[in-house]
Amino acid sequence: MSDVELVEVVSAEAGMRLDRWFRAHYPLIAHGALQKLLRTGQIRVDGGRAKANARLAAGQQVRVPPVKFDAVRPKARRGLSAEDRRFIQSLVIHKDKDILALNKPAGLAVQGGTGTTRHIDKLLDGLQFDASERPRLVHRLDKDTSGVLLLARNRAAASALGDTLKDRAAIKTYWALLKGVPSPRRGEISLRLVKKGGAGAERIHIAEEGEAGAMKAITRYAVIEPAGSKLCWAALWPLTGRTHQLRVHLAAIGHPIVGDGKYGGSDAHPGGDISGKLHLHARKIEIPHPSGGNFRISARLPDHMLKTWKLFGFDPDLESEPFEDEV
């Protein structure tokens, strides 16, 4: 590039962050170089300075200065194997022009991290199908939590779904097997959470009064069916979306999720014919559809939870809405 360019933002790019828009158009520019151009005001929007996280609107003009492509070319993603492609496509439970819904298995991470080499983000190329863009993650589930995971098939859908999730307008219902039976059988847990510990040893804790870094966290719960007095099937609705929120909240009231040794200790492992895997499943999500109307999808229980449900005679196809009167 030898001259200043003015590039107009098209409608499909509305809502994109400025830095992400720039990388999409000029992928060879190094991250540090892009940040410097933004910091020094060489990149402008409609003639004014703009921050990296500024959201763009259709019709705006982005000033692109002459740039030397001094960055190392990004590594090309290796093509997926036929086996990986078949696997990730086998998880799809819904597909339309805006949304993909997966039934994520327990044990598969959504994104990479230390020691994590296989994850959904790495397999997204296998879910492009007939779309012009690679699908985008709009929320996440813990590695050991199974169930509904939504992906956006285009930028506009990603922006709409992201805003809805950020505004807590989605209703996400989880099913869990709990140790004991909470009393009352319906309730709300409002306990602030804080992250503590170094890299590789991080845990979420109930925050002390006035503790720095504490975040508001609210969970509603409803017992669907007890298994005597030692265990119960419960529905959980996180009104906020904090890391490990459901696991920490339920352990805090003395009813840890079965299989959650990290927060429930030995109490979370009743033994016998019950699997030691985490019994937490994102059963259903209801959310405004980017193209209008309401979208609702539910996901089948994973095999280890199906086995437990069969053991206690629970109905894995139950369609009742435990929080219907609270919406």
pLDDT, tens digit, 9 for 90 and up, residues 143-201: 999 999 999 999 889 889 988 988 788 999 999 999 999 999 999 999 999 998 766 66
Do 181 and 275 have their domain in common? yes
Catalytic residue among 142, 144, 273, 315: 142
Q: Which amino acid is at 103?
A: N
**In this structure, are 89 and 139 located in the same domain?**
yes
In sequence order, the 6+-apart residues with CB closer than 8 A to the CB of 88 are 80, 120, 123, 124, 126, 127
In order, the DSSP letters of 65-128 are ------SPPPPPPPPPPHHHHHHHHHTEEEE-SSEEEEEEPTT-BSS-BTTB--BHHHHGGGG-
Last residue of a domain, one of 21, 36, 64: 64
Q: How many C-beta atoms surround the C-beta of residue 169 within 10 A?
A: 11
Assigned domain for 271 exists? yes
For residues 218 and 186, membership in a common domain is answered with: yes
How many domains is the chain built from?
A: 3
Nearest Cα residue to 270 out of 229, 236, 302, 239: 229
Q: What mean pLDDT value characterizes the chain?
A: 89
Our answer to whether residue 142 is catalytic in this structure is yes
Do 20 and 153 share a domain, yes or no? no
Q: What is the mean pLDDT of residues 110-115?
A: 78
User: What is the per-residue pLDDT across 241-257, written as a single tens digit (0 to 9) for each?
Assistant: 899 999 999 999 999 99
70 domain-assigned: no
Same domain, residue pair 178 and 296? yes
Show the domain range for 260. Answer: 171-326
179 and 128 in a common domain: no
Contact 327, 294 (CB under 8 A): no
Do residues 58 and 111 both lie within one domain?
no
Tell me the C-alpha distance between 78 and 2, whole Å: 32
Instruction: Specify the CATH number for the domain of residue 94.
Output: 3.30.2350.10
pLDDT in the model for residue 70: 47
pLDDT given at position 15: 79
On whether both 192 and 322 belong to a single domain, the answer is yes
Is residue 34 situated within a structural domain? yes
In a domain, 35, yes or no: yes
Same domain, 219 and 269: yes
Statement to judge: residues 292 and 317 lie in one domain: yes
pLDDT digits (tens, 9 = 90+) for 289-320: 999 999 999 999 999 999 999 999 999 999 88
Is residue 1 pLDDT above 60, yes or no? no
Predicted model pTM: 0.79
Say if residue 135 is in the same domain as residue 239.
no
Give the C-alpha separation, 251 to 178, whole Å: 9
129 and 237 housed in the same domain: no
Residues 123-139: pLDDT tens digits? Answer: 999 999 988 888 999 99
